[in-house]
Amino acid sequence: MRIDALQYANWSEKIFNQLREGGVDAIHVTIAYHENFRECVLNFEQWNRWFEQYPRLIRKGLWASDIDEAKASKRTAVFFGFQNNSPIEEDIGLVEVVHTLGARFMQLSYNNQSLLATGCYEENDPGITRMGRQVIREMNRVGLVIDMSHSADRSTIEAADLSQRPIAVTHANPHEWAPALRNKRDNVIRAVVENGGMFGFSLYPHHLKDKSACTLESFCGMVARTVEKYGIKHFGIGTDLCQDQPDSIVEWMRTGRWSKQIDYGEGSKSSPGFPDMPEWFRDNRDFGNIEAGLLATGMSQDEVAAVMGGNWYRFFAENFTPQEK
């Protein structure tokens, strides 16, 4: 089973076919960065159209059982998530509404301070806000997973502590392997793991050692060491694949409508666009390379299967349904 816990592609029939070529049974796709509720609903609508247009390639993903059904019918189950809390605006009632519509992950902040938590690019991190505490409880209740990929350290550790259910960092790598601002230090990874949560290894070049030049051996070695250190069951893949997107999209991701100035985020003035993917992971067709690379490190078949999808499957099964009373 292969599950990718983060993609934000410029979706097309070509990419849906590549998902099948790569044997990807489920993906978690981003449908909001800075969209408000109504704009985010337009993105749900767009996916409804794609499900109608490509019923032999993709299907809506709401529950883990939808992955089994997708696998059996040789399709990919598509689960939805937000990289920011903008879709719920200032209205806690929208947490259940977006879950009903199909959202399964929501980041509490995206780079900046939000109404709920602090983002990883802020200078100061005062931790989870008053509204943030309420929203964490509500997300736990309905089965909307807290994702802290772009949040600051203190906020992430507090979220893991406050949440009664496991949280996730869907896409990042250990900071000690590649010291990017978005990668996570030991205390953050530990907080996620101790809360029972999941961590998805990113293939986004800005999160890789040597960026686009990162080798498969280096990446897989890092995975092997990390699962050895923190425990196999807390790790999966979250490629952060942004395939076929024009550079205007990375500008939207970074700057939204919150600034009139360009913010280069993980890029720079000389390299403002999307970086090239490493040659061993061009797109969804190359999950087999990662699987082979992990086996080559000496990890067992079972361990590799857990990282390639088994762990996310279990996490989806346990965390998307409403909390038992």
Within 8 A by CB and 6+ apart from 45, the residues are: none
Q: How far is the CB of 31 from a second copy (least distance, A)?
A: 13
Determine if 321 is a binding residue for a second copy (CB under 8 A): no
Q: Beta strand 235-237 with 198-201: parallel, antiparallel or unpaired? A: parallel
Binding mask 100-119 for a second copy (x = CB under 8 A): xxx-----------------
Within 8 A by CB and 6+ apart from 162, the residues are: 128, 133, 136
**φ, ψ for residue 172 (rounded to 5)?**
-175, 170
d(CA 73, CA 65): 13
DSSP per-residue letters across 14-70: HHHHHHHHTT--EEEEEEESS--HHHHHHHHHHHHHHHHH-TTTEEE--SHHHHHHH
Instruction: Give whichever of 42 and 262 is closer to a second copy, judged by the CB atom.
Output: 42
Q: How far is the CB of 6 from a second copy (least distance, A)?
A: 23
Instruction: Give whichever of 61 and 293 is closer to a second copy, judged by the CB atom.
Output: 61
Binding mask 47-86 for a second copy (x = CB under 8 A): -xx-------------------------------------
Q: How far is the CB of 27 from a second copy (least distance, A)?
A: 20
Determine if 271 is a binding residue for a second copy (CB under 8 A): no
Q: Which stretch binds a second copy (CB under 8 A): 75-83, 94-102, 197-205, 264-272?
A: 94-102
Interface contacts to a second copy, rule CB under 8 A: 37-38, 41-42, 44-46, 48-49, 91, 93-94, 96-97, 100-102
